[in-house]
Structure 1
Amino acid sequence: MPVGVVLRRTPGVTRWAKHAWRAVAVLPGAGPADWRELRREGETVEYHAATVPLELYRAETEAYLHGITAREPSVYVVMRKIVGEHPFEVALVTASPYEAQDYCDSGEDVVEKVPMPQGLLAWVGDFVERHHEDEEFVKRRRKNAKVDGEQDGIGDPRIVKPADIYASPTLKRGRLQ
């Protein structure tokens, strides 16, 4: 689904930042745009910066379910700083909080959380309802686990160690040594 991204420019609060930018809304089903001015109030300006496709994948339904059942269902706008007439390039819009976290981890992209409009929420919810399958939890078992609970105090015999390194005590004739 094509999704338009609305960015808001406000005056900066320090002498080092002339402007502050935030993604404030998305427009589901929007047409193409290239930094079209939508609204101006004093020095605050909102732009329809770009329209990018929102793609959903069957393998990611668990992440979408997590996102739409949150207290405030949201989409995430990933932007990259560029040098030129405009400060950002909109890279993508995603409904997956897990994918958004991956972009946050790199530190190179700016990720903004934007409230999901009702129409988009219904579209993502319908996709999840049709394609989500709960996976059964399977507890992993350790192989070659020592289960007798007895410690021999030897440690790794391949490592030569001086005598002052701690080894667990052993039980000899009813008392610890």
Structure 2
Amino acid sequence: MPLGVVIRRTPGATRWAKWAWKAIAVLPGAADADWREIRREGDAVEYHAATLTLELHGAETDAYLHGLAARTPSIYVVLRESDEVDGPPLDAVLVTASPYEAQDYADSGEEIIEKVPMTDGLMAFVQRFVDTHHVEEEFKKRRRDRVRTDRVEHSIGDPRIHQLNDVYTAPQVRKGRMN
């Protein structure tokens, strides 16, 4: 499903950051866009920055269920700083419904991950996909092996050196000799 990414630009809070950028919404079924201005309120401007495809995979249904069960089900927008000097400051890289995939992108520290609330229609779309493709895995309890591991003594000395005394005893100093 194509999702349009809406990014809001507001004045920065410090003199070092002229503008603050934040993904605030997604537009399901949006047409292609390249930083088209949608709305302006004083210094705040909202742009339809890009349209990306939301891809859902059957192997990720556990992650989608986790995301849908959250207090606010969300779509995660992955943004990256742009290399272009004259162009927009951010590139929209990915939209995903998987909080696990978003976490993977957050681990690198190179991308900006924004959490955008899902619309009701988008929640229904993801829920329908999960209902169709989710297979509950049966829990299998692991059992211990019946092999006895306490019979083999490892690391008690070099087996090539014959010792008559106990290998666990502390070395003793011979009387009359000082080292």
Does TM, scored on the shorter chain, surpass 0.5? yes
Matched with 1:121 is: 123
Structure 2 portions without partners, runs of 5+: 159-166, 171-179
Q: Displacement, 1:163?
A: 7.4
Q: Quick one: distance in 1 between partners of 2:69 and 2:126?
A: 11
Describe how 1:66-81 pairs up with structure 2 within 5 A.
66-81=66-81
- Would the alpha carbon gap of residues 117 and 163 (structure 1) be closer, same or farther in structure 2, given more than 3 Å must change? farther
Which residue of 126, 130, 153 corresponds with 2:132?
130
Q: Quick one: distance in 2 between partners of 1:45 and 1:144?
A: 68
Q: Displacement, 1:156?
A: 3.2
The alignment's C-alpha RMSD in Å is 2.5
Which residue of 74, 89, 98 corresponds with 1:96?
98
**Rg larger in 1 or in 2?**
2
Q: Quick one: distance in 1 between partners of 2:157 and 2:105?
A: 44
Q: Quick one: distance in 2 between partners of 1:88 and 1:139?
A: 47
Matched with 2:89 is: 87
Quick one: which amino acid aligns to residue 92 of structure 1?
Answer: L
User: Structure 1 vs Structure 2: percent identity of aligned residues?
Assistant: 61
- Would the alpha carbon gap of residues 63 and 158 (structure 1) be closer, same or farther in structure 2, given more than 3 Å must change? farther
Q: Displacement, 1:33?
A: 0.4
Matched with 1:110 is: 112
Describe how 1:8-157 pairs up with structure 2 within 5 A.
8-84=8-84, 85-143=87-145, 156-157=155-156
